[in-house]
Copies of this chain bind each other. A is one copy, B any other.
Amino acid sequence: MTKEAAYSELVDRLKRAHVLGTVNGLISWDEQVNLPPDSADLRAEQLALMAELQHAAAGEPRIGELLETLERRCEELTGDQQVVLRCARRDYDRVVKLPPEFVREKARHSSEAFHAWARCKAASDFPGFAPYLEKHLLLARREAGYLGCEAAPYDYMIDRHDPGMTGAVIERLFGELKEGLVPLVREIVSSPVKAKAGIFRGFPVDGQRAFLRLVTERLGFNYRRGRIDVSLHPFCEGSGADIRMTTRFDEDNPLNSLFSAIHETGHGLYEQGMRLADQGTPLGQAVGMAVHESQSRLWENQVARSRGFWRFFERRFREEFPAQLGAVSPEELYLAVNAVRPTLIRVDSDEVTYNLHIILRFEIEKRLFSGTLAVADLPVAWAGLANDLLGLTPPNDRDGALQDVHWACGMFGYFPSYCLGNMMASQFWYKAQGDLPGLEDDFSRGDFARLLGWLRRNIHEQGRRYDTQELVKVVSGEPLKPAYLLRYLRERYLPLYRG
């Protein structure tokens, strides 16, 4: 067999597993967007079966043979082919080390734990949820064991979401970040300048939909290969050939749906920025969740909370809602866009205090995996950390340890990605500004093409060529540093809140 034939067959088989993955993604999207209330049992069966088939397709023995054939002649491959080979090997080894029974058991437990979480959250009943979380922790340790990572299961979980990242690196980065962040939050919160509450009332959904469509299309989202719908929690699903984003609408909070949509657009632009020809191969896949979040955050925060952005869109926003915005001054609007207010709920928080929510969760996960925190003691630990970091104490588990869905799905090591993504977004942002002088002036003209082109070349089209930390270094010339996020937050928020 020639190496060309082997490589081409390998790519075909990777694409086959990818196509199954896209079907899985689509029916998950449909579950959140369209599912009739009593059809959940069938959907759970469909998802479990598709997970099994995807696992089987990704772990076909023939893929192993092709990898071996190609690895023997690795130096004859092109650079791109070597990237594909390296990543495919990594994925294959993981898949074949996980027994199908384990994959099924984890899928089933995730579904059960999800429904238990929804019930327990509604009842604010952490003890009811605790056994599901215990089992998820056991499954996570078992999974790490299959991969030979029993000594460092939390590092394994982190690496699953952000290849190359470790708990120790995150601990150092978050430590530095916290040191700068806590005084910054204190300064903003104690400022006499406050974003006015309750100035948005009665924004019809149709108008919100039209305005966010205008904005997200202008940012560069290609609606010929994607769409936006409504779900309880906004998310983005799919690959570049068909991206499904969601948002949610509240007539008294138009900025929420708008910024959710822009955030998801950032995810969508990343996926749409990879080459269609690379779809289904590691060159057409995201590095990991932190890099994904860096893209969503950069568009949501650095771009869409900037003066330049609002210089262009404010007039259009007012045209869509002339009566509703009649009494809101330009400065009140801009301050509302950049409101900072500590809250107990992560998803309701602003971009400054958001990072403290992540530091809290990282601290909890670390302790759970090191064995220094028992699941039963989690609410107490949560309350202590919330008090330390946010100055707030949750009145119940619903607004505390039960607020997020991630642990119900067994997603440990995922939370840090959000904050790492924020750091990366700032680091990329300063680099892009250096490379592209006058960038914010582009925004004032409604022109986002230079920024998008820069992100595509430097990040999107790289696929999985580099791991998380390598990519940051290649793009920005420096290792990941919290300093850029702190600088960005100070530059954006202190002038506003110093009045």
> Which of chain B's residues has its CB closest to A49's CB?
B19
Asked if B225 and A38 sit within 8 Å, CB to CB, the answer is: yes
A-B contact pairs, 7 of them (CB 8 A): A20-B49, A22-B46, A26-B46, A36-B227, A37-B224, A41-B241, A42-B279
Q: Is A370 an interface residue (CB 8 A)?
A: no
Contacts of A320-355 to chain B: CB distance below 8 A: none
Contact partners of A42 in chain B: CB under 8 A: 19, 22, 239, 241-242, 279
Q: Do B36 and A226 touch (CB < 8 A)?
A: yes
Q: Find the B residue at minimum CB distance from A50.
A: B23
Cα of A45 to Cα of B50 in the assembled complex, Å: 16
Instruction: Decide yes or no: A227 and B34 within 8 Å by CB, A42-B242, A241-B41, A242-B43 being known contacts.
Output: yes
Interface check A454, CB cutoff 8 A: no
Closest to A243 in B: B36
Which label, helix, strand, loop or mixed, suits the secondary structure of the A interface? helix
Query: Cβ of A102 < 8 Å from any Cβ of B?
Result: no
**Chain B neighbourhood of A20, CB < 8 A:** 49
Q: How far is the CA of A37 from the CA of B242 in the complex (A)?
A: 10
Interface string of A289-310 (1 = CB under 8 A from B): 0000000000000000000000
Residue A217, interface by CB 8 Å: no
- In Å, the complex CA distance between A321 and B41 comes to 39
Copies in the complex: 2
Minimal beta-carbon separation of A12 from chain B (angstroms) = 11
The interface on chain A, measured as residues whose beta carbon lies within 8 A of the other chain's beta carbons, has a size of 32
Q: Which 8 A-B pairs have the closest CB atoms?
A: A39-B242, A42-B241, A38-B224, A38-B225, A37-B224, A23-B46, A19-B45, A19-B49
CB of A187 within 8 Å of the partner chain: no
Complex Cα gap A38–B223 (Å): 9
Query: Which of A22, A49, A242 neighbours the largest number of chain B CB atoms within 10 Å of its CB?
Result: A242
Say yes or no: is A116 at the interface (Cβ < 8 Å to chain B): no
A279 to B23, CA, bound (A): 22
A53 within 8 A of B: yes
A16 within 8 Å of B by Cβ? yes
Q: Does A138 belong to the interface (CB within 8 Å)?
A: no
Q: What 0/1 pattern do residues 210 to 248 of A give for CB contact below 8 A with B?
A: 000000000000111111000000000001011000000
Residues of B contacting A36 with CB < 8 Å?
A: 223-227, 242
Residues of A participating in the B interface, judged by any CB pair closer than 8 Å: 16, 19-20, 22-23, 26-27, 30, 34-39, 41-43, 45-46, 49-50, 53, 222-227, 239, 241-242, 279
Residues on the B chain within 8 Å of A222, using CB: 38
Q: Complex: how many Å from CA A333 to CA B49?
A: 50
Residues of B within 8 A of A39 (CB): 225-226, 241-242
Distance between Cα atoms of A292 and B9 in the complex (Å):
43
The distance in angstroms between the C-alpha atoms of A37 and B36, with both chains bound, is 26
User: Which residues of B are found within 8 Å of A279, using beta-carbon distances?
Assistant: 42
Which residues on B sit within 8 Å (CB–CB) of A226? 36, 39
Complex formed: what's the CA distance from A218 to B335 in Å?
A: 51
In the complex, chain B residues whose CB is within 8 Å of the CB of A239: 42
Instruction: Point out the residues of chain B lying under 8 angstroms from A27, CB to CB.
Output: 23, 26-27
Please report the C-alpha to C-alpha distance between residue A46 and residue B18 in the assembled complex, in whole angstroms: 10
- Chain B: minimal CB distance from A336 (Å): 31
Q: How far is the CA of A226 from the CA of B46 in the complex (A)?
A: 16
Cα A26 to Cα B30 with chains together (Å): 9
Instruction: Please state if B242 and A35 are interface contacts (CB–CB under 8 Å).
Output: yes
Interfacial chain B residues near A223, Cβ < 8 Å: 36
| Distance from A239 Cβ to chain B, minimum over Cβ atoms (Å) | 8
- In Å, the complex CA distance between A140 and B338 comes to 64
Instruction: Report how far A27 CA is from B242 CA in the complex, Å.
Output: 13
Residue of B at shortest CB range from A43? Answer: B242
Say how far A477's CB is from chain B's closest CB, in angstroms. Answer: 36
**A36-B226, A36-B227 given; 15 more Cβ-contact pairs under 8 Å:** A16-B49, A20-B49, A26-B30, A34-B227, A36-B223, A36-B224, A36-B225, A36-B242, A38-B225, A39-B226, A39-B241, A42-B241, A42-B242, A42-B279, A53-B53
Complexed CA–CA distance, A23 and B34 (Å): 14
CA–CA, A26 to B226, complex, Å?
18
- Name the distance in Å between A451's Cβ and chain B's nearest Cβ: 23
Q: How far is the CB of A19 from chain B (nearest CB, A)?
A: 5
In the complex, what distance in Å separates the CA atom of A39 from the CA atom of B242? 6
Residues in B whose Cβ lies below 8 Å from that of A34 = 227
